[in-house]
Amino acid sequence: MKKTPLFMLLLILILAACSKQISLSGESKHWEGRYIANIDGNREDGNFIFGYKNANKQTEFKNLNVEIKNGLGKTVKNEEQHKGATKTINRSCSGCAVTDETQTLKVTIKWNEKYEETFDMKKKK
C-alpha cells in the first residue's frame, strides 16, 4: 500500500521535469517586452506582454503594429485603435518548433503612424 503514494509522487516529478518555463525580456526607449511560456515537448503556451513606458490613463495608439521575429518566422499583430498602455499577444502551438530560451527574438513596434522602435528579447543572465 505504501508503494502507491510513492509511485504517484515519482510520476508527478517525472511529468513536471518534462515541461519547463522560459522567460525572455527586452526594452527600447519607449517600450518594454516580456515573453513567458510553458514548453512541454513540442507544445508551447505563452504570452507576449508589451508595455509603453510613458503611459498615462488616456494612453491610446493609432495603427499599433507589433512584429516578432525568431529564427523560424514571424508573428505580426495590427490594431487600428488600441486603448491602454499594454498589448498582450498569446502564442499557443502543438507539434511546432518551440521557442528555445537561448534564442533572441527581434521585436519591432510601430505606432501612431510615425514612430518605430526595434529591440531584442532574450533570457536575462
Tens digit of each residue's pLDDT (9 = 90 or more) over 46-75: 999 999 998 998 999 999 999 999 887 899
Q: CA 53, 59, 64 angle in degrees (round to 5)?
A: 80
Q: What per-residue confidence (pLDDT) applies to 112?
A: 96
Query: What mean pLDDT do residues 7-27 have?
Result: 71
* Residue 31, pLDDT score: 98
Q: Is residue 105 part of a domain?
A: yes
Provide the residue range defining the domain that includes 99.
Answer: 20-121
- DSSP class of residue 122? B
Residue 93 counted as domain residue: yes
| Cell (9 digits) for 97 | 518548433
Measured distance CA(54)–CA(58) in Å, rounded: 11
Residue 100 to residues 12, 51, 72, 76, Cα–Cα distance (Å):
24, 23, 11, 20
Is the pLDDT higher at 4 or at 59? 59
- State the pLDDT at residue 69: 95
Whether the per-residue pLDDT at 125 is higher than 80: the answer is: no
Residue 91 C-alpha from the chain's centroid: 7
Please check whether residue 98 lies inside any domain of the structure: yes
Residues 6 or more apart whose CB falls under 8 angstroms from that of 43 comprise 93, 94, 95, 96, 98
- Amino acid 9: pLDDT: 54
With cut-offs at 50, 70 and 90, classify the pLDDT of residue 21.
very high
Strands 73-83, 60-70: parallel, antiparallel or unpaired by DSSP? antiparallel
Total tally of structural domains belonging to the chain = 1
For residue 15, pLDDT beyond 80? no
Q: Looking at residue 82, which CATH number applies to its domain?
A: 2.60.40
H or E element, residue 36:
strand 31-40
